[in-house]
Amino acid sequence: MNGRTRPLPSVVREFDCTGGTIIAYGHDTYTEPLRTDTTDYYQNPLDMDGVSHCSRDVTMTRATIERDPDLYRHRSMSNVITLYDIPSRDIKDNAWSPNTWKTRFSLNYKGLPYKTVWVEYPDIARVCQEIGAEPTSTSEYDTPKYTLPVIYDPSTKTVLAESAKIARYLDETYPDTPVLIPRGSSALHAAFQYAFAQMVSQPALPLMLPATNNILNPSSEAFYRRTRESWFGKLEDWSPPGPIREKHWEELRAALARVAGWMALDDEDKPFFMGDTICYADITIASILVWMKRVLGPKSQEWARVKTWDGGKWGSFMQAFDKYEMVL
Amino acid sequence: MNGRTRPLPSVVREFDCTGGTIIAYGHDTYTEPLRTDTTDYYQNPLDMDGVSHCSRDVTMTRATIERDPDLYRHRSMSNVITLYDIPSRDIKDNAWSPNTWKTRFSLNYKGLPYKTVWVEYPDIARVCQEIGAEPTSTSEYDTPKYTLPVIYDPSTKTVLAESAKIARYLDETYPDTPVLIPRGSSALHAAFQYAFAQMVSQPALPLMLPATNNILNPSSEAFYRRTRESWFGKLEDWSPPGPIREKHWEELRAALARVAGWMALDDEDKPFFMGDTICYADITIASILVWMKRVLGPKSQEWARVKTWDGGKWGSFMQAFDKYEMVL
C-alpha cells in the first residue's frame, strides 16, 4: 500500500480490469471473489439507515498482475481518488450518467487510478453534505442543489463537485497527465459547455430521459420519475414512437451535424475538437454519446442510426473512446 | 499606386485618420476637401438607380503624410480590401452594426488597410448578388438570405460573407498579422459564437433594436421596422421604460456576468478571453458593446451603467479596444 497518489504511466489506461472487489459506501467492505472473465458489478442489497448505495473498486486480473507487477502496485493503492456516481439496475458495469461519464472519461484518459462509490438519487444530497461537497447550483427557491459527479482526492484532501471544475482540478493537480482543457481555453470550453447543453443535450432529453428511467434501481427510479415528470408530464408521453419521436431524432441529428460542422472548420479530417488530441469538449460529446449507447443499447437500431450520422463520424469518434470506456 | 495588397506594419493601426475622401459604391467618385480636424462622414444624397448607398475611404491628414510617407504610400493604394457595412444617419463616422464591427475590429486589429462601402438595408441582397457574395443562410422558405459584413479582397479576388468566415480567411491570407482564431480553436470559437448569441445577444435585442431603428437612414429604417416588427410587434413596445426595461437590463447584466465568470476561470485578472491577447471571441464581445455604446450614446446613463458591471470589467475591456475603434 502506498498512501501517495501520483499519476500513472499512460499504459495504465490500457490495462484489463475484469475482476472485482466491491465496497459499500461509508459502511463496510464487501468482497467478492476475484473474477477474470467478467466486469459484473455489485449492488448492495442491504438498505442500511434507509439508504441504498453501493460502490465498487475493480481490481486487476491475475493475468494483468503477472504481466506488469508495477501496475498492480499502483492499482492496489487504497488511497486513490473516489468518484461518486449513480448506479443502474441493468447497464453493463453500472455506469450510464452523461455527467459522471465526463469525469470518468477524464480520469481514464489521464490514466489516474480511482474507485467508484455508487449513490442512489435520493441519497445524493445527504452524501454530498456528509463528505463536504459544495452544491453546484441553487434552485429558484434558493435550496442548494447537489449533483454528481463529485470526487474526493485523498492526496490533496480535496472534495470537488461539477465535472468541468473537476477537469480543471485534475489538469492542475496532475500536470504530467494528458491535458483536458489546454491553458487559455477555459473560457472557450465554458462557452462550449453552454452551447452543447443548449444545442445537443436539450433535444436529447425527450428521447433519453424516459429510457434512462427504465434502467435505474427502484429508489432512484421513483425519485427520477417524480422530479422529471414535474418538468414535462408523464415520461412515457415525452417521445412516443411515431412522428413525434422521429421529429426529436431529426432535431438531435441536426444539432450533432452542426457540431460536426464546427469540428471541420479547420480541417475536415481532424478527429477531435481541437485537432488530433482529445480535449474536454470531446469528452463532453463522448459522454452524451456513451449515455445513448448504453441506455438505448449498444446493439439497438437507434444507436446504430446515430453512428451513421455525419458520414459515420460519431461511430468512429466513439471508437476512439473505446479504450477509455472502463469503470474502475 | 501599388496593385498588390500586403499586410501593413502594425504601426499603421495607430495612425490618425481624420481627413476624408468619399466614393459612392459602384458608380462614381465624390471627393471632399482633405480635412484635418474631423472624422465627419458623407452620405450620398443622390439616389442613383433608386438606391441610396455611399461609401467612404478616409485618407490621411497632411500631418500624418509628412510624418511617415511610407504609411501614405500604403494607405493611398486603391487596391485595398473593401468592407461592406450599413450606414447610420447620426452615429459618429457611421458605423454601428455589431456584426460588421466584428469584421471592422478584425481588420483594425490586424492593421490591414481597407475602405468601407456603405449599403442601406433594402440594397444588401442586390449588392451581394452583384459582387458575388454568398447568402449566409436560407430562410424557412428557402429564400437565400444575404447579410453584411461582406468583404472583397482584390489581392486574392475573394468575396466573402459572414464575420467568422472572414476572420478565418484573414488569418490564413495574412499570416504575419495578429491572429484572431488561434489554430485549433475554430470549433471552440464556433461554439462560443453560438453561446454568446443565445446568452447575450438575445437579451440585448429588446433593448437595442428599437434604439437602432432610430439611428438608421429612412430607407433602412422602413426596412428594419418592417422586418423586426414581424418578430415581436411594434418596436416601441419591446422594452418601454419602467419595470419591463429594468428586467431586460437585469437579464443582460446577468448574461455578461456569466461571460465575465468564464473569463476568470484560468485567472481572475486576465483581460481577454484566451489570456493576455485579443482573440475573435473578444472581438465578438467588443462588437456588441460598441453597438451599445454608439447607439445608446457614449455619454448615456445606460452605457455608463454597463461600464460599471462586473467591477468595471466592461469599461476597461472597451478601453483596450479604443485604438481599434476606427472607421476607414
* pLDDT per position as a tens digit, A153-188: 999 999 999 999 999 999 999 999 999 999 999 999
Lowest mean pLDDT: which of A40-44, A74-78, B293-297? A40-44
Other CB atoms within a 10 A radius of the CB of residue B138 amount to: 10
Assess B266–A contact: CB distance below 8 Å, yes or no: yes
The answer on pLDDT for A72 being more than 50 is no
The whole-angstrom separation of Cα A97 and Cα A236 is 20
Nearest CA in chain A to B181: A266
Look at residue B311 and tell me if it is in a domain. yes
Contact of B183 with chain A, judged by CB distance below 8 Å, is answered with: yes
Would you call B276 an interface residue with chain A, using a CB distance cutoff of 8 Å? no
Over residues A37-64, the mean pLDDT reads 30
Q: What's the CA gap between A160 and A16, in Å, rounded? A: 28
User: What is the phi-psi region of residue B209: left when phi exceeds 0, alpha when psi lies from -120 to 50, beta otherwise?
Assistant: alpha
Provide the number of CB pairs (under 8 Å) joining chain A to chain B: 80
Residues of B in contact with A192 (CB under 8 A): 188, 191-192, 195
**Is residue A176 assigned to a domain?**
yes
CA distance B137 to chain A (A): 14
Residue B39 domain-assigned (yes or no): no
Strand order in the sheet with A150-153: A53-56, A114-119, A81-85, A150-153, A158-161
Residues β-bridged to residue B151: B83, B160
Q: Is the dihedral of CA A290, A295, A298, A303 positive or negative?
A: negative
Using a CB-CB cut-off of 8 Å, the residues of chain A touching B179 are none
Q: Which of B168, B188, B261 comes nearest A185 by C-beta?
A: B188
Q: Which three cell numbers stand for residue A89?
A: 439496475
Sign of CA dihedral A288, B190, A320, A17: negative
**B104 versus A72: which is more confidently predicted?**
B104
Least confident of A37-46, A112-121, B276-285: A37-46
Mutation target vs A (from B186, B201, B317; most A CBs, 10 A cutoff):
B186
In a domain, B211, yes or no: yes
Q: Which amino acid is at A159?
A: V
The whole-number pLDDT of residue A142 equals 65
pLDDT at B77: 52
The per-residue pLDDT for A151 is 98
Is residue A266 very low, low, confident or very high in pLDDT (cuts 50, 70, 90)? Answer: confident
Which is nearest to B53 in space by CA: B66, B40, B44?
A: B44
Residue A6, pLDDT > 80, answer no
pLDDT, one tens digit per residue, over A214-252 is 999 999 999 999 999 998 899 999 999 999 999 999 999
Phi-psi region of B58 (alpha: psi -120 to 50; beta: other; left: phi over 0): beta
> CB pairs under 8 A, 24+ apart, for B152-157?
B152/B81, B152/B82, B152/B84, B153/B5, B153/B81, B154/B3, B154/B5, B154/B79, B154/B80, B154/B81, B154/B82, B155/B4, B155/B5, B155/B6, B155/B79, B155/B81
| Residue A185 in contact with partner chain B when CB distance is under 8 A | yes
Who among A168, A196, A275 is closest to B184 (CB)?
Answer: A275
Does pLDDT of A70 surpass 90?
no
Testing the interface with A: which of B180, B188, B258, B279 to mutate, by most A Cβ within 10 A? B188
Q: Is B257 on the interface with A (CB under 8 A)?
A: no
A140 has a chain B CB within 8 A of its CB: no
Within an 8 Å CB–CB cutoff, is residue A232 touching chain B? no
Is A185 close to B189, i.e. CB distance below 8 A?
A: no
Sequence-separated (6 or more) residues with CB below 8 Å from residue A299:
none
CB neighbour class for A231 (10 Å; exposed up to 12, middle 13-18, buried from 19): exposed
Give the DSSP letter of residue B232: H
The answer to whether the CB of A270 falls within 8 A of the CB of B185 is no
End-to-end CA distance of chain A: 18
| Residue B139: predicted pLDDT | 60
Compute the nearest-CA separation of B277 from chain A (Å): 10
Identify which of A203, A208, A187, A154 has the alpha carbon closest to the alpha carbon of residue A281.
A187
- Residue B4, in any domain of the structure: no
- For chain A, say whether B260 makes contact (Cβ under 8 Å): no
Is the pTM value of this prediction over 0.90?
no
- Helix (H) or strand (E) holding B250, with range, is helix B243-263
Option in B194, B196, B266 nearest A199 (CB): B194
B97: cell is: 452594426
- Contact across the interface for A190 and B265, Cβ inside 8 Å: yes
- Does A61 score more than 70 pLDDT? no
**pLDDT at residue A78, rounded to an integer:** 67
Radius of gyration of chain A (CA): 19
pLDDT confidence tier of residue A53, bands split at 50, 70 and 90: very low
In a domain, B12, yes or no: no
Strand (E) positions, chain B? Answer: 22-23, 29-30, 53-56, 81-85, 114-119, 137-138, 144-145, 150-153, 158-161
Distance of CA B117 to the CA centre of its chain: 13
Are A188 and B274 a contacting pair at CB < 8 A?
yes
Q: Rg of the Cα trace of chain B?
A: 20
Q: A189: which chain B residues are within 8 Å (Cβ-Cβ)?
A: 188
pLDDT at A140: 61
Mean pLDDT score, A263-276: 91
Contact status of B274 with chain A (Cβ, < 8 Å): yes
* B190 reaches A (C-beta below 8 A): yes
Structural domains of chain A, count: 1
CA distance B17 to B11: 13
User: Which CATH number goes with the domain that contains A301?
Assistant: 1.20.1050.10
Cβ contact, residue pair A198, B196, below 8 Å: no
Q: What is the dihedral of CA A129, A133, A138, A142, to 10 degrees?
A: 40
Mapped onto helix, strand or coil, the DSSP state of residue B213 is: helix
**How near does any CA of chain A get to the CA of B170, in Å?**
14
- The answer, for B195 touching chain A at a CB cutoff of 8 Å, is yes
Within a domain: residue A146?
yes
Residue B302's alpha-carbon distances to A4, A138, B92, B207, B293, in angstroms, are 55, 30, 18, 10, 9
* Residue span of the structural domain in which A218 resides: 81-324
Digit-coded pLDDT (tens) for A129-141: 999 999 998 666 6
Q: Which three cell numbers stand for residue A186?
A: 477555459
Which residues on chain A are in Cβ contact (under 8 Å) with B261? 190
In the three-class reduction of DSSP (H, G, I as helix; E, B as strand; rest coil), residue B85 is classed as strand
What are the backbone dihedrals phi and psi of residue A161, each rounded to the nearest 5 degrees, phi first?
-110, 160
DSSP assignment of B103-138: HHHHHHHHT--EEEEEE-GGGHHHHHHHHTPPPSEE
What residues contact residue B165 under an 8 Å CB cut-off, 6+ apart? none
Three-state SS string over A110-170 comes to HCCCEEEEEECHHHHHHHHHHHCCCCCEECCCCCEECCCCEEEECCCCEEEECHHHHHHHH
Q: Is B196 on the interface with A (CB under 8 A)?
A: yes
Does residue A148 surpass a pLDDT of 90?
A: yes
pLDDT in single tens digits along all 328 residues of chain B: 333 333 322 222 222 222 222 222 222 222 222 222 222 222 222 222 222 233 333 333 333 444 444 444 444 456 899 999 999 998 889 999 999 999 999 999 999 999 999 999 999 999 999 999 999 986 666 678 999 999 999 999 999 999 999 999 999 999 999 999 999 999 999 999 999 999 999 999 999 999 999 999 999 999 999 999 998 899 999 999 999 999 999 999 999 999 999 999 988 789 999 999 999 999 999 999 999 999 999 999 999 999 999 999 999 999 999 999 999 9
Q: Which residues of A touch B278 (CB under 8 A)?
A: none
Nearest-Cα distance to chain B for A176, in Å, is 18
- Alpha-helical runs (H) found in chain A: 62-67, 69-75, 98-110, 124-131, 163-173, 186-196, 202-213, 218-232, 243-263, 280-296, 301-319
Residue B219 belongs to a domain: yes
Of A183, A188, A261, the CB nearest to B188: A188
Q: Do B186 and A273 touch (CB under 8 A)?
A: no
Within 8 A of B274 by CB-CB distance, chain A residues are 184-185, 187-188
Q: ipTM strictly over 0.90? A: no
- Residue whose grid cell is 461539477: A162
User: Looking at per-residue confidence, does B106 or A15 come out higher?
Assistant: B106
Q: Which residues of A touch B196 (CB under 8 A)?
A: 191
Q: Supply the pLDDT for residue B75.
A: 46
With 0-12 / 13-18 / 19 or more C-beta atoms within 10 angstroms meaning exposed / middle / buried, residue B143 is exposed
